[in-house]
Structure 1
Amino acid sequence: MTTTRFAPSPTGYLHVGNLRTALFNYMIARKAGGTFILRIDDTDPERSKPEYVDAIQEDLSWLGITWDRIEFQSKRLDRYAEAADALRAAGRFYEAFETPTELDLKRKKQLNMGKPPVYDRAALALSEDEKAALRAERGQGVWRFKLDHERIAWTDGILGDLSIDAASVSDPVLIRGDGQVLYTIASVVDDTEMGVTHVVRGSDHVTNTATQIQIMAALGHGHPEFAHHSLLTGPQGEALSKRLGTLALRDLRADGIEPMALLSLMARLGSSQPVELVDSLDALIEGFDLSSFGSAPTKFDRDDLLPLTARFLHGVPFAEMADEIAALGVPADLAETFWEVARANITTRSDLPGWWHLFRDGGAPKVAEEDRDFVADAFARLPEPPYGPDTWSSWTAEVKAASGRKGKGLFMPLRRAVTGLDRGPEMADVMRLLQKKPTL
């Protein structure tokens, strides 16, 4: 069975970069009728917060991304300890004691010599007495996985055939000196024990994937199918990492971005398929094709979400908006008309109250000085509401006959005087919804 996972760390709010990974893994599982696991990477007790766990679930639920089960890495520490023991027994795990400063000096020396700045494995030469002395002086060391210095090759679901020379990579630290289990080994254990068959993540994980393939082999396991999607940039190609805090899903939700607008963009961005609004998550899943994605950095522009949101709202039927419109105080007999008029003129739901305020209380008149007498006379000819579907045509016909004005010289000053706007809904529709006679 196809099994995928999304493994966020509960150290902050989900952003669009996280969503891309979650969505790809979710759609692969759902398209194959498989299992999608939400795995909370909470092995860092200081930075992991319960409120972020709740926020992760809230954001995914808002988007309609459901999981078949949720796992917490903090509850699986015994499994990681067993894997560490197995690596020690196999001679693939060793303790190292260098300080960050010492490691930095080593890297600089290697770079000056024209060598790759990888860990030199000096710890392997330490005797037991030397290790004991270092523990007494510095505390527990870190535990590194000893890589086999050979090429690690796999066929990537997006990038194609890849290989990395393990000799060009430092032996990865899997357990810190304070005992904290790091992502690299925790993910290996979880992916193998949970039967994960496909892993899609960002291209910044390619080297990490190579080391994890070796760790899996050292523990006697094969590896899932890996795919690495491109990283997002800003609209001008600038690094997006510094802006991700402003692109949190909770903020997009608060700004009125519709779930299907966001999903439609993220499901196609960076692929050979055109971005277009899709009306359901099921339809997105049906059309999803991982092989259509490329390796080039992918430009993300938050402003692209607004027209997609507007387009989505234009197609929402009244029945789905009835409660929201009733909450604005729109009379029941006008509610459906109000939605039919307003939905073509909004970008997000937050625009709706402004339109009802205009229809209920009237707009702030925008009248040029040379039009003031003309508008005053026109308003004097307008009866009191309620107005019907023919009010605008009959009123403007009377004003035209009295003033001699026609075309834009007739209609634009009246639109601006009634609504305070240069453009908007058809004025025949506006008049039907006006609750008060316009005045200057």
Structure 2
Amino acid sequence: MTVTVRFAPSPTGNIHIGNARTALFNWLFAMKHKGRFIQRFDDTDLARSKQEYANAILYDLHWLGIYPDQTEYQSRRFDRYDAAVERLKAAGVLYPCYETPEELELRRKIRLSQKLPPVYGREALALTPDEVAAFEAEGRKPHWRFLLPNFADDPANPVRTELSWQDIVRGDETVDLASLSDPVLVREDGTYLYTLPSVVDDIEMGVTHVIRGDDHVTNTGVQIALFRALGAEPPTFGHHNLLTTVSGEGLSKRTGALSIASLRDDGIEPMAVASLAVLTGTSENIEAVGTMSELADRFDPAAVSKSAAKFDPAELLTLNHSLLHAMPFSEAQDRLAVLGVTGDKAEPLWLAVRGNIDKVQDAVTWWRIINEPLPEAPDLDDEDREYVRGAFDLLPEEPWDRSTWQQWTAAVKEATGRKGKQLFLPLRLAMTGRSSGPELAELLPLIGREEMLARRP
């Protein structure tokens, strides 16, 4: 058996880091088991689904390092769902209902007042042919419900029916089908809700493992029953905890909160996103993982907590910083070139500053510092200004290399008696206009003697 997973978002907006968590869990699981990853767009809602969002989701996945083996669109598979509907009708487990939303809400309130579970009472099963004809004469169109197998002989008298599965994330899970309403599979207008297309596709595409958010746990009981009604064994399920902000707020595609596109545009590295999305809410320490293969080695569905996974977006910058600190020039070169950091100085500049930046684009600031006059004079008091002027008179002749800084500061120390912060900070301010930053031994040769003399206060 080839392990086969799927990521099945609705293309109704940009995916966020919470969606990426589900995609990454599936991708890493497939990597660990040398399996297949299907990208499936659940786009049966034709009014809200847009190809531009599907394209953007594929772009986001590729940016993260996820490359689907297969891409499918549910909107192109209606004939399969139509056939499944006919099979379910023939088996007597898909039945028409004519209630309006207002009537259903009233029945729900009545059941609650009687201290009964607010589930659908299957009144439609008792409709006579005359009542059906009367509804249709009014112009009512039926919606179709799946008859859950939660009764002995009479569907009007459901009994406790436990449906259990071994969840690869949560362990033993059980749902009582008697506590659920028969789900609507087909709307009045003939369009499909999520459940039927999802199950039909999982069967036909050979999906072996369904890994998704724990907001689908209850749905799983219904879907397992539907798999079996269609003559198929259900896949293995895993339900991971959902990401929330530190304050406990959920994420939404509609608000654009922490969308992958916005994180990318902000200069966050894909492996920073992947590391945070995967490791938050697990027993693993949250740290920057350099490659997807390494992340796959550390990924264990059983290590995911059952409680909500609160994460701090500020951690992305910390992870980003760690990744850049270890990033070779070859990996950053093309991106730096787009930013204008090119030529002989580009690589030494990158090696000098990568440990002091949070994002690749931050290197541009230091590129300008070494190549352009400082925009304003450094903030030095009179004593430090005189000290720096004298120090600049001691600048060694070129050629310069990394050892030049030590030669220069040794001469300055001998001439002035200064040491430590009193020696170095005024020189740093004069050289860079900054009170902190990369090693000055690395920056000095990049600035060069002529430009250094031009910076003499």
- The two structures have a TM-score, normalised by structure 2, of 0.90
What are the equivalent positions in structure 2 for 1:20-31 lying under 5 Å apart? 20-31=21-32
* Corresponding residue number in structure 2 for 1:175: 186
Equivalent position to 2:367, from 356, 364, 373: 356
**1:16 matched to 2:29:** no
* Corresponding residue number in structure 2 for 1:252: 263
* Corresponding residue number in structure 2 for 1:160: 171
For this pair of structures, how many residues does the alignment match? 440
* Corresponding residue number in structure 2 for 1:5: 6
Letter of the 1:223 counterpart: P
Shift of 1:373: 3.7
**1:393 matched to 2:394:** no
Alpha-carbon distance in 1 for matches of 2:263, 2:336: 22
Shift of 1:390: 4.0
SS at match of 2:172: strand
What are the equivalent positions in structure 2 for 1:18-417 lying under 5 Å apart? 18-149=19-150, 150-241=161-252, 245-330=256-341, 332-363=343-374, 364-370=376-382, 371-379=384-392, 382=395, 387-417=400-430
SS at match of 1:246: coil
Asked if the contact 1:205/1:228 (under 8 Å) is kept, the reply is yes
Indicate the larger mover: 217-226 or 286-295.
286-295
Change (3 A) 1:167 1:237: same
Shift of 1:332: 3.0
Asked if the contact 1:16/1:248 (under 8 Å) is kept, the reply is yes
Indicate the larger mover: 93-102 or 225-234.
93-102
Change (3 A) 1:295 1:267: same
Shift of 1:324: 3.5
Alpha-carbon distance in 1 for matches of 2:11, 2:337: 38
Shift of 1:275: 2.6
Change (3 A) 1:130 1:243: closer
Alpha-carbon distance in 2 for matches of 1:163, 1:323: 52
Asked if the contact 1:97/1:142 (under 8 Å) is kept, the reply is yes
Asked if the contact 2:388/2:456 (under 8 Å) is kept, the reply is no
Shift of 1:310: 1.5
* Runs of at least 5 residues in structure 2 that lack an aligned partner in the other structure: 151-160
Letter of the 1:60 counterpart: L
Indicate the larger mover: 371-380 or 44-53.
371-380
Shift of 1:245: 1.9
Shift of 1:202: 0.7
Asked if the contact 2:44/2:193 (under 8 Å) is kept, the reply is yes
* Corresponding residue number in structure 1 for 2:156: none
Alpha-carbon distance in 1 for matches of 2:380, 2:65: 50
Asked if the contact 1:362/1:434 (under 8 Å) is kept, the reply is no
The C-alpha deviation readout for 1:26-60, integer Å capped at 9, x for no partner, is 22222222221111111111001010110111011
Alpha-carbon distance in 1 for matches of 2:24, 2:401: 48
SS at match of 1:301: coil
Indicate the larger mover: 383-392 or 256-265.
383-392
* Runs of at least 5 residues in structure 1 that lack an aligned partner in the other structure: none
Q: CA RMSD of the aligned region, Å?
A: 2.2
Alpha-carbon distance in 1 for matches of 2:447, 2:398: 7
Change (3 A) 1:242 1:194: closer
The C-alpha deviation readout for 1:141-199, integer Å capped at 9, x for no partner, is 21111112222221111112121111211111111111111110001111111111110
Shift of 1:79: 0.8
Alpha-carbon distance in 1 for matches of 2:146, 2:398: 80
Shift of 1:24: 1.3
The C-alpha deviation readout for 1:286-315, integer Å capped at 9, x for no partner, is 332212222111112211121211211222
SS at match of 2:44: coil
Alpha-carbon distance in 2 for matches of 1:410, 1:90: 88
